[in-house]
Amino acid sequence: EDLSLPKADKIKLDEADPAKIKLGNGSDVKGTRVRVFGRVHRERRQKDVMFITLRDGYGFMQVIFTGPLAKCYDALTLTRETSMEITGELREVPSGAHAPLGRELHADYFKIHAGWKAAGGDDAITNRVSKDTEHATLLDLRHLTLRGETASKVMLVRDAVEHAFNLVFKELRMRKVSPPALVQTQVEGGATLFKFQYYNEEAYLTQSSQLYLETCLPSMGDVYCIEKSFRAEKSLTRRHLAEYTHIEGELDFITFDDLLTHLEQLMCRVLEVTMSDPVVKQYILDLNPEFKMPERPFKRMKYSDAIDWLVEHDIPNEDGEKHKFGDDIAEAAERRMTDIINRPIFLTHFPTEIKAFYMQKDKEDPRVTESVDCLMPGVGEIIGGSMRMYDYEELMAAFQREGIDPAAYYWYTDQRKYGSSPHGGYGLGLERFLAWLCKQHTVRDCCLYPRYFGRCKP
């Protein structure tokens, strides 16, 4: 096999062991010998010269093989995705030529360790994942499509956004907690509960950590969590998952207006922090070239005005009729409205009947609640929030209205007994936020391994 690989002792080494660098580095060390590790992202030949683009998750590097190195057995049979160790000298790319970070590695030695070589021929990754592969197949092959530029950029932006949320929550003096995923209470309606046998009892996968966050306020102040929520959604839409990452916050002693101002600040600051990393900013602009920071203040629109707007714009409800007060604004109508208005909207004051049991009624108009959905162009709702009912009797009446037995909620209703307070909070779907930020058609492409109706693999 080892036809004419140059032997290590034949290679003139300037240093015994050149420094190992990641592929996102090296623009500052031109002229030095380095050692890199990565996988073959692309390769091409031009006469006797071989160009390899190496990838390691931190960046890309153009590597050049010339002379015997380009003609040895391993180079001639090199397959995409093969893992390599390469040493060489980093040089500026010739003027007029382009390469990542404006530098290229002139290799003088490479090695494919035993077992590092990727399958070629019919099994090659390129034969399994191509542009024409159907979306369902791509999702079956998610472990391989994750290696692609688009999927990996979305995942890297996701990492940065989650980090930014943690950072901004700390700036806002909010404390992180980790509520349980296995619960015996519902938050957002029985229809989407995943039920399971918990030893001898019935239990559910949590729909939202909200109720638990509320119990933390008295001793921890404002709190947040970044946890999974689960919804047994039975429809296939581009923004519904069965398992999603829910970023939830709960704030004590606030007014509804404070809640809206906080949400605006949180979102804008998270975007600022995320965009302050030049690499991440470039990923976002690659994925979403038209991205612009949202303007503050966000548009505020009452539900009842949205109903009027939909009627004026001839956008019908789900039954094909004119929208009327009390209708749920369905996904399609909501998205059309948001796309036409084309800026972030705080849609507020939804009627009591179409919202969750725990929402505080508006003192001025008891038909509606102090509730808010934040709508973003291209996606629609990415945040749902509200002030919480803080009166014990009122909450008990709400349970009755919804036909929920309050017994299992004793720990929640106790909050209204032992020092209640005006408070409110929200939940943001991380995948929806990313679909908006990275201009992805569906939230499925914004999670590592999406779970939705009919899919629980890989």
Q: Would you count residue 64 as binding ligand 4AD (CB under 6 A)?
A: no
Q: From the CB of 95, what's the least distance to ligand 4AD, in Å?
A: 48
Q: Would you count residue 231 as binding ligand 4AD (CB under 6 A)?
A: yes
3-state helix vs strand vs coil in the chain, percent to 5: 35, 25, 40
Of the pair 158, 240, the CB lying nearest ligand 4AD is at: 240
User: Which segment (218-226, 312-320, 405-413, 426-434) binds ligand 4AD by CB under 6 A?
Assistant: 426-434
Considering only residues 8 to 27 of the shown chain, the ones binding ligand 4AD according to CB under 6 A are none
User: Which segment (79-87, 240-248, 278-286, 338-346) binds ligand 4AD by CB under 6 A?
Assistant: 240-248
Q: Would you count residue 187 as binding ligand 4AD (CB under 6 A)?
A: yes
Q: Is 350 helix (H, G, I), strand (E, B) or coil?
A: coil
Of the pair 78, 223, the CB lying nearest ligand 4AD is at: 223
Residues with Cβ within 8 Å of residue 206, at least 6 apart in sequence: 179, 180, 181, 182, 183, 187, 227, 228, 229, 230
Q: Would you count residue 409 as binding ligand 4AD (CB under 6 A)?
A: no
Q: Would you count residue 447 as binding ligand 4AD (CB under 6 A)?
A: no
Q: Which residue has the tokens 């010998």?
A: 33
Are 336 and 380 within 8 A, CB to CB?
A: no
Across the beta sheet with 345-348, the strand order is 175-176, 223-230, 243-252, 423-429, 380-387, 371-376, 345-348, 299-302
The string of DSSP codes covering 347-401 is EE--BGGGS-TTBPBPSS-TTBBSEEEEEETTTEEEEEEEEBP--HHHHHHHHHH
Of the pair 38, 385, the CB lying nearest ligand 4AD is at: 385
Q: From the CB of 44, what's the least distance to ligand 4AD, in Å?
A: 41
Task: Identify the residue among 82, 145, 210, 338 touching ligand 4AD (CB under 6 A).
Answer: 210
Q: Which amino acid, residue 423? A: H
Residues with Cβ within 8 Å of residue 356, at least 6 apart in sequence: 187, 188, 189, 386
Report d(CA 171, CA 319) in Å as an integer. Answer: 46
User: Which segment (272-280, 293-301, 308-316, 422-430) binds ligand 4AD by CB under 6 A?
Assistant: 422-430
Q: Which amino acid, residue 64? A: I
Q: From the CB of 55, what's the least distance to ligand 4AD, in Å?
A: 30
What is the x/- site pattern for ligand 4AD, positions 65-104, by CB under 6 A? Answer: ----------------------------------------
Task: Count other Cβ atoms within 10 Å, centred on residue 253.
Answer: 12
User: Which segment (142-150, 167-175, 252-260, 419-427) binds ligand 4AD by CB under 6 A?
Assistant: 419-427
* Total number of residues shown for the chain: 458
Residues in contact with ligand 4AD by the rule CB under 6 A: 187-188, 208, 210, 231, 233, 240-241, 244, 246, 248, 381-385, 425-429, 431-432, 443
